[in-house]
Amino acid sequence: MLQVRSVSRSFGELRAVDDVSFDVAPGRMTGFVGANGSGKTTTMRIILGVLAADSGTVLWENREVTQTVRQRFGYMPEERGLYPKMKAAEQVAYLGRLHGMERAAAERNAAALLEQLGLAERADDPVEQLSLGNQQRVQIAAALVHDPGLLILDEPFSGLDPLAIEIVLSVLRDRASRGVPVLFSSHQLDVVERLCDDLVIIAAGAVAASGSRDELRRQFGPSRFQLVVDDDAGWVRDVPGVRLVELDGPRAVFDLDEESPPGDAYGAAPAGGAGDRDQAVLQAALQRGPVRSYGPVVPSLSEIFKEVV
Ligand SMILES: Nc1ncnc2c1ncn2[C@@H]1O[C@H](COP(=O)(O)OP(=O)(O)OP(=O)(O)O)[C@@H](O)[C@H]1O
Protein backbone atom coordinates (compact mmCIF):
# COMPACT_ATOMS: atom_id res chain seq x y z
CA MET A 1 0.00 0.00 0.00
CA LEU A 2 1.22 3.47 -0.90
CA GLN A 3 0.13 6.25 1.43
CA VAL A 4 0.49 9.90 0.55
CA ARG A 5 0.13 11.94 3.73
CA SER A 6 -0.42 15.72 3.85
CA VAL A 7 2.03 16.40 1.05
CA SER A 8 2.50 20.05 0.04
CA ARG A 9 4.79 21.73 -2.44
CA SER A 10 5.02 25.34 -3.59
CA PHE A 11 6.82 26.93 -6.50
CA GLY A 12 7.42 30.52 -5.41
CA GLU A 13 4.01 31.89 -4.51
CA LEU A 14 2.12 29.04 -6.15
CA ARG A 15 0.98 26.22 -3.89
CA ALA A 16 1.02 23.52 -6.57
CA VAL A 17 0.20 20.67 -4.13
CA ASP A 18 -1.71 21.56 -0.99
CA ASP A 19 -1.99 19.06 1.87
CA VAL A 20 -2.67 16.10 -0.41
CA SER A 21 -3.45 12.72 1.17
CA PHE A 22 -4.63 9.51 -0.47
CA ASP A 23 -3.88 5.78 -0.63
CA VAL A 24 -3.10 3.53 -3.55
CA ALA A 25 -4.12 0.05 -2.42
CA PRO A 26 -2.66 -3.28 -3.59
CA GLY A 27 -4.42 -4.76 -6.56
CA ARG A 28 -6.35 -1.56 -7.23
CA MET A 29 -6.17 0.69 -10.25
CA THR A 30 -6.36 4.24 -8.93
CA GLY A 31 -7.16 7.00 -11.39
CA PHE A 32 -5.67 10.42 -10.65
CA VAL A 33 -7.85 13.00 -12.32
CA GLY A 34 -7.68 16.76 -12.51
CA ALA A 35 -7.59 19.71 -14.88
CA ASN A 36 -4.35 20.96 -16.44
CA GLY A 37 -2.06 22.37 -13.81
CA SER A 38 -4.00 20.87 -10.88
CA GLY A 39 -0.89 19.20 -9.42
CA LYS A 40 -0.95 15.60 -10.67
CA THR A 41 2.55 15.50 -12.12
CA THR A 42 4.01 17.35 -9.13
CA THR A 43 2.40 14.81 -6.75
CA MET A 44 3.69 11.89 -8.81
CA ARG A 45 7.19 13.33 -8.89
CA ILE A 46 7.11 13.69 -5.12
CA ILE A 47 6.05 10.03 -4.76
CA LEU A 48 8.94 9.04 -7.00
CA GLY A 49 11.41 11.27 -5.16
CA VAL A 50 12.22 13.21 -8.33
CA LEU A 51 11.00 16.28 -6.49
CA ALA A 52 11.07 17.01 -2.75
CA ALA A 53 7.93 17.90 -0.82
CA ASP A 54 7.97 21.01 1.39
CA SER A 55 6.05 19.01 3.98
CA GLY A 56 4.23 15.72 4.34
CA THR A 57 5.34 12.12 3.82
CA VAL A 58 5.02 9.25 1.39
CA LEU A 59 4.82 5.80 2.97
CA TRP A 60 5.26 2.44 1.27
CA GLU A 61 4.18 -0.50 3.38
CA ASN A 62 4.03 1.82 6.40
CA ARG A 63 7.61 3.05 6.06
CA GLU A 64 8.92 6.27 4.64
CA VAL A 65 10.05 5.72 1.07
CA THR A 66 13.81 5.53 0.59
CA GLN A 67 15.87 5.55 -2.59
CA THR A 68 16.34 1.76 -2.37
CA VAL A 69 12.60 1.22 -2.11
CA ARG A 70 12.04 3.53 -5.08
CA GLN A 71 14.17 1.19 -7.22
CA ARG A 72 11.22 -1.20 -6.95
CA PHE A 73 8.76 1.37 -8.29
CA GLY A 74 7.84 1.61 -11.96
CA TYR A 75 7.39 5.13 -13.33
CA MET A 76 6.25 6.43 -16.65
CA PRO A 77 7.01 10.15 -16.62
CA GLU A 78 5.02 12.75 -18.50
CA GLU A 79 8.03 13.75 -20.54
CA ARG A 80 8.87 10.61 -22.44
CA GLY A 81 12.56 9.74 -22.31
CA LEU A 82 13.68 7.08 -24.77
CA TYR A 83 16.91 6.90 -26.73
CA PRO A 84 15.79 7.46 -30.34
CA LYS A 85 18.52 5.38 -31.98
CA MET A 86 18.27 2.36 -29.71
CA LYS A 87 16.16 -0.62 -30.75
CA ALA A 88 12.90 -1.00 -28.83
CA ALA A 89 13.69 -4.34 -27.14
CA GLU A 90 17.28 -3.36 -26.43
CA GLN A 91 16.10 -0.16 -24.83
CA VAL A 92 13.55 -1.81 -22.55
CA ALA A 93 16.10 -4.46 -21.49
CA TYR A 94 18.70 -1.75 -20.88
CA LEU A 95 16.30 0.14 -18.60
CA GLY A 96 15.61 -3.13 -16.76
CA ARG A 97 19.33 -3.52 -16.14
CA LEU A 98 19.47 0.02 -14.74
CA HIS A 99 17.01 -1.27 -12.15
CA GLY A 100 19.51 -3.98 -11.23
CA MET A 101 18.22 -6.87 -13.35
CA GLU A 102 20.47 -9.57 -14.83
CA ARG A 103 20.86 -9.26 -18.59
CA ALA A 104 19.01 -12.50 -19.43
CA ALA A 105 16.04 -11.69 -17.18
CA ALA A 106 15.86 -8.13 -18.53
CA GLU A 107 15.88 -9.36 -22.13
CA ARG A 108 13.27 -12.01 -21.37
CA ASN A 109 10.95 -9.50 -19.68
CA ALA A 110 11.47 -6.94 -22.46
CA ALA A 111 10.53 -9.45 -25.15
CA ALA A 112 7.48 -10.67 -23.21
CA LEU A 113 6.24 -7.13 -22.57
CA LEU A 114 6.65 -6.00 -26.16
CA GLU A 115 4.73 -9.09 -27.20
CA GLN A 116 1.93 -8.33 -24.70
CA LEU A 117 1.83 -4.74 -25.89
CA GLY A 118 1.48 -5.84 -29.51
CA LEU A 119 4.95 -4.68 -30.53
CA ALA A 120 6.76 -8.00 -31.07
CA GLU A 121 7.16 -7.26 -34.79
CA ARG A 122 8.79 -3.92 -34.08
CA ALA A 123 11.08 -5.08 -31.29
CA ASP A 124 14.22 -4.61 -33.40
CA ASP A 125 13.25 -1.23 -34.87
CA PRO A 126 15.01 1.86 -33.57
CA VAL A 127 12.59 3.82 -31.40
CA GLU A 128 12.70 6.86 -33.69
CA GLN A 129 11.19 4.78 -36.49
CA LEU A 130 8.12 3.93 -34.43
CA SER A 131 4.91 5.95 -34.45
CA LEU A 132 4.30 8.11 -31.37
CA GLY A 133 1.67 5.67 -30.10
CA ASN A 134 4.11 2.78 -30.46
CA GLN A 135 6.84 4.77 -28.74
CA GLN A 136 4.40 5.21 -25.91
CA ARG A 137 3.92 1.45 -25.68
CA VAL A 138 7.70 1.06 -25.45
CA GLN A 139 7.68 3.61 -22.64
CA ILE A 140 5.04 1.58 -20.83
CA ALA A 141 7.14 -1.57 -21.28
CA ALA A 142 10.08 0.37 -19.79
CA ALA A 143 8.04 1.20 -16.67
CA LEU A 144 7.10 -2.48 -16.23
CA VAL A 145 10.26 -4.34 -17.18
CA HIS A 146 11.66 -4.81 -13.67
CA ASP A 147 8.37 -6.21 -12.33
CA PRO A 148 7.77 -3.18 -10.11
CA GLY A 149 5.96 -3.47 -6.79
CA LEU A 150 4.16 -0.18 -7.50
CA LEU A 151 3.28 1.51 -10.78
CA ILE A 152 2.99 5.27 -11.25
CA LEU A 153 2.02 6.31 -14.77
CA ASP A 154 1.64 9.91 -15.91
CA GLU A 155 -0.92 10.06 -18.74
CA PRO A 156 -0.26 6.53 -20.06
CA PHE A 157 -3.24 6.67 -22.44
CA SER A 158 -2.80 10.06 -24.05
CA GLY A 159 -2.16 9.75 -27.76
CA LEU A 160 -3.16 6.08 -27.97
CA ASP A 161 -5.79 4.86 -30.42
CA PRO A 162 -8.76 2.90 -29.01
CA LEU A 163 -7.18 -0.48 -29.77
CA ALA A 164 -3.90 0.52 -28.12
CA ILE A 165 -5.84 1.78 -25.09
CA GLU A 166 -7.44 -1.66 -24.74
CA ILE A 167 -4.05 -3.39 -25.01
CA VAL A 168 -2.43 -1.14 -22.42
CA LEU A 169 -5.47 -1.49 -20.15
CA SER A 170 -5.20 -5.24 -20.17
CA VAL A 171 -1.48 -5.15 -19.39
CA LEU A 172 -2.03 -2.79 -16.43
CA ARG A 173 -5.04 -4.79 -15.20
CA ASP A 174 -2.90 -7.89 -15.30
CA ARG A 175 -0.32 -6.20 -13.04
CA ALA A 176 -3.02 -4.96 -10.68
CA SER A 177 -4.52 -8.44 -10.48
CA ARG A 178 -1.14 -9.65 -9.25
CA GLY A 179 -1.44 -7.25 -6.32
CA VAL A 180 0.50 -4.27 -7.67
CA PRO A 181 -0.98 -0.88 -6.73
CA VAL A 182 -1.34 1.19 -9.91
CA LEU A 183 -1.70 4.98 -9.91
CA PHE A 184 -2.26 6.63 -13.27
CA SER A 185 -3.22 10.14 -14.26
CA SER A 186 -5.50 10.87 -17.16
CA HIS A 187 -7.58 13.59 -18.74
CA GLN A 188 -9.69 11.01 -20.51
CA LEU A 189 -12.55 10.64 -18.07
CA ASP A 190 -14.23 7.93 -20.13
CA VAL A 191 -11.06 5.82 -19.94
CA VAL A 192 -10.64 6.44 -16.22
CA GLU A 193 -14.28 5.59 -15.66
CA ARG A 194 -13.92 2.23 -17.35
CA LEU A 195 -10.57 1.32 -15.94
CA CYS A 196 -10.16 2.47 -12.39
CA ASP A 197 -11.33 0.92 -9.14
CA ASP A 198 -10.50 4.00 -7.07
CA LEU A 199 -10.32 7.67 -7.91
CA VAL A 200 -8.52 10.70 -6.60
CA ILE A 201 -9.90 13.96 -8.00
CA ILE A 202 -7.55 16.90 -7.56
CA ALA A 203 -8.38 20.56 -8.11
CA ALA A 204 -6.01 23.51 -7.63
CA GLY A 205 -3.52 21.31 -5.78
CA ALA A 206 -6.00 19.87 -3.25
CA VAL A 207 -7.95 16.61 -3.20
CA ALA A 208 -11.56 17.47 -4.07
CA ALA A 209 -12.84 13.91 -3.67
CA SER A 210 -11.45 10.41 -3.37
CA GLY A 211 -12.71 6.88 -2.87
CA SER A 212 -13.87 3.92 -4.86
CA ARG A 213 -15.59 4.72 -8.12
CA ASP A 214 -18.86 3.29 -6.84
CA GLU A 215 -18.67 5.18 -3.53
CA LEU A 216 -18.11 8.44 -5.40
CA ARG A 217 -21.02 7.73 -7.69
CA ARG A 218 -23.24 7.20 -4.67
CA GLN A 219 -21.85 10.18 -2.80
CA PHE A 220 -21.83 12.74 -5.57
CA GLY A 221 -24.31 11.45 -8.05
CA PRO A 222 -27.73 13.03 -7.75
CA SER A 223 -30.64 10.68 -6.97
CA ARG A 224 -31.55 10.48 -10.61
CA PHE A 225 -34.13 8.08 -12.02
CA GLN A 226 -35.50 7.18 -15.40
CA LEU A 227 -39.11 6.14 -15.96
CA VAL A 228 -40.54 4.73 -19.18
CA VAL A 229 -44.32 4.36 -19.46
CA ASP A 230 -46.69 3.93 -22.41
CA ASP A 231 -48.17 7.42 -22.55
CA ASP A 232 -46.81 10.87 -21.92
CA ALA A 233 -44.82 10.94 -18.67
CA GLY A 234 -45.10 14.72 -18.19
CA TRP A 235 -47.24 14.29 -15.05
CA VAL A 236 -44.04 13.31 -13.19
CA ARG A 237 -43.07 16.96 -12.87
CA ASP A 238 -46.06 17.51 -10.52
CA VAL A 239 -44.99 14.82 -8.05
CA PRO A 240 -43.66 16.50 -4.88
CA GLY A 241 -39.89 16.25 -4.62
CA VAL A 242 -39.37 15.54 -8.32
CA ARG A 243 -37.17 17.81 -10.44
CA LEU A 244 -37.67 16.91 -14.08
CA VAL A 245 -34.38 16.76 -16.00
CA GLU A 246 -35.53 15.45 -19.35
CA LEU A 247 -38.89 14.54 -20.89
CA ASP A 248 -39.20 12.69 -24.15
CA GLY A 249 -42.82 11.55 -24.53
CA PRO A 250 -43.19 8.40 -22.45
CA ARG A 251 -39.65 8.68 -21.04
CA ALA A 252 -38.83 10.94 -18.10
CA VAL A 253 -35.51 11.47 -16.36
CA PHE A 254 -35.74 13.24 -13.00
CA ASP A 255 -33.86 13.97 -9.79
CA LEU A 256 -35.41 13.34 -6.42
CA ASP A 257 -35.10 16.20 -4.01
CA GLU A 258 -33.84 14.89 -0.67
CA GLU A 259 -35.35 17.81 1.23
CA SER A 260 -38.88 17.84 -0.14
CA PRO A 261 -41.85 16.18 1.56
CA PRO A 262 -42.60 12.58 0.53
CA GLY A 263 -45.08 12.01 -2.23
CA ASP A 264 -47.87 10.51 -0.12
CA ALA A 265 -50.44 12.31 -2.24
CA TYR A 266 -49.92 9.37 -4.60
CA GLY A 267 -50.72 6.70 -2.06
CA ALA A 268 -47.21 5.95 -0.84
CA ALA A 269 -46.41 5.75 2.86
CA PRO A 270 -44.61 8.82 4.21
CA ALA A 271 -40.93 8.26 3.66
CA GLY A 272 -37.70 9.50 5.15
CA GLY A 273 -35.38 9.40 2.15
CA ALA A 274 -35.16 9.32 -1.61
CA GLY A 275 -35.06 5.51 -1.34
CA ASP A 276 -38.77 5.50 -0.40
CA ARG A 277 -39.65 8.52 -2.46
CA ASP A 278 -38.62 6.80 -5.66
CA GLN A 279 -41.14 4.08 -4.82
CA ALA A 280 -43.85 6.73 -4.50
CA VAL A 281 -43.18 7.79 -8.08
CA LEU A 282 -43.27 4.19 -9.23
CA GLN A 283 -46.61 3.60 -7.52
CA ALA A 284 -48.01 6.76 -9.02
CA ALA A 285 -46.90 5.55 -12.47
CA LEU A 286 -48.44 2.10 -11.94
CA GLN A 287 -51.76 3.69 -10.99
CA ARG A 288 -51.77 5.35 -14.41
CA GLY A 289 -50.87 2.30 -16.49
CA PRO A 290 -48.06 -0.09 -17.37
CA VAL A 291 -44.46 0.80 -16.46
CA ARG A 292 -41.97 -0.40 -19.09
CA SER A 293 -38.78 0.51 -17.29
CA TYR A 294 -37.80 2.20 -14.04
CA GLY A 295 -34.56 2.59 -12.17
CA PRO A 296 -31.72 4.82 -10.99
CA VAL A 297 -29.46 6.49 -13.53
CA VAL A 298 -25.80 6.11 -12.53
CA PRO A 299 -23.91 9.40 -12.94
CA SER A 300 -20.91 9.40 -15.21
CA LEU A 301 -17.48 10.38 -13.96
CA SER A 302 -17.63 13.61 -15.91
CA GLU A 303 -20.85 14.53 -14.08
CA ILE A 304 -19.17 13.84 -10.73
CA PHE A 305 -16.09 15.72 -11.89
CA LYS A 306 -18.18 18.77 -12.80
CA GLU A 307 -19.80 18.65 -9.40
CA VAL A 308 -16.64 18.47 -7.29
CA VAL A 309 -14.18 20.59 -9.26
N1 LIG B 1 9.20 23.23 -11.74
C2 LIG B 1 8.19 24.07 -11.65
N3 LIG B 1 8.37 25.40 -11.46
C4 LIG B 1 7.35 26.26 -11.35
N5 LIG B 1 6.05 25.90 -11.42
C6 LIG B 1 5.78 24.60 -11.61
C7 LIG B 1 6.84 23.62 -11.75
N8 LIG B 1 6.26 22.40 -11.91
C9 LIG B 1 4.92 22.60 -11.90
N10 LIG B 1 4.64 23.91 -11.72
C11 LIG B 1 3.29 24.51 -11.62
O12 LIG B 1 2.56 23.79 -10.65
C13 LIG B 1 1.21 23.61 -11.05
C14 LIG B 1 0.88 22.14 -11.08
O15 LIG B 1 1.55 21.54 -12.19
P16 LIG B 1 1.48 19.99 -12.51
O17 LIG B 1 2.39 19.75 -13.68
O18 LIG B 1 1.70 19.21 -11.29
O19 LIG B 1 -0.05 19.83 -12.96
P20 LIG B 1 -0.77 18.63 -13.72
O21 LIG B 1 -2.03 18.38 -12.97
O22 LIG B 1 0.16 17.49 -13.89
O23 LIG B 1 -1.09 19.31 -15.11
P24 LIG B 1 -1.19 18.67 -16.59
O25 LIG B 1 -2.42 17.84 -16.58
O26 LIG B 1 -1.30 19.89 -17.45
O27 LIG B 1 0.07 17.88 -16.81
C28 LIG B 1 1.08 24.30 -12.38
O29 LIG B 1 0.56 25.58 -12.18
C30 LIG B 1 2.51 24.36 -12.89
O31 LIG B 1 2.69 25.45 -13.75
How large is the average pLDDT for residues 48-66?
Answer: 93
Please determine, for residue 270, whether its predicted confidence score (pLDDT) is greater than 70. Answer: no
Residue nearest ligand 1's atom 7 by CA: 11
The pTM score is: 0.82
Residue nearest ligand 1's atom 5 by CA: 11
If one counts every other C-beta atom within 10 angstroms of the C-beta of residue 196, the result is 23
Residue nearest ligand 1's atom 23 by CA: 37
pLDDT for 281 equals 93
Task: Go through the domains of the chain in sequence order and give each one's CATH number.
Answer: 2-219 (3.40.50.300), 222-298 (3.30.70)
Please determine, for residue 275, whether its predicted confidence score (pLDDT) is greater than 70. Answer: no
Atom of ligand 1 lying closest to residue 41 CA: 22
- ipTM for the assembly: 0.96
Give the separation between CA 28 and CA 125, rounded to whole angstroms. 34
- At 69-115, the pLDDT tens digits run 888 899 998 877 788 899 999 999 999 999 999 999 999 999 999 99
- At 218-242, the pLDDT tens digits run 777 668 899 999 999 999 999 988 9
Q: Give percent of the chain with pLDDT exceeding 90.
A: 68
If you measure from the C-alpha of residue 200 to the centroid of ligand 1, how many angstroms do you get, rounded to a whole number? 17
If you measure from the C-alpha of residue 296 to the centroid of ligand 1, how many angstroms do you get, rounded to a whole number? 38
The values of phi and psi at residue 32, to 5°, are -115, 110
Of the candidates 102, 307, 273, the one whose C-alpha atom is nearest the C-alpha of residue 201 is: 307
Site residues for ligand 1, CB cut-off 6 Å: 11, 14, 16, 34, 36-42, 78
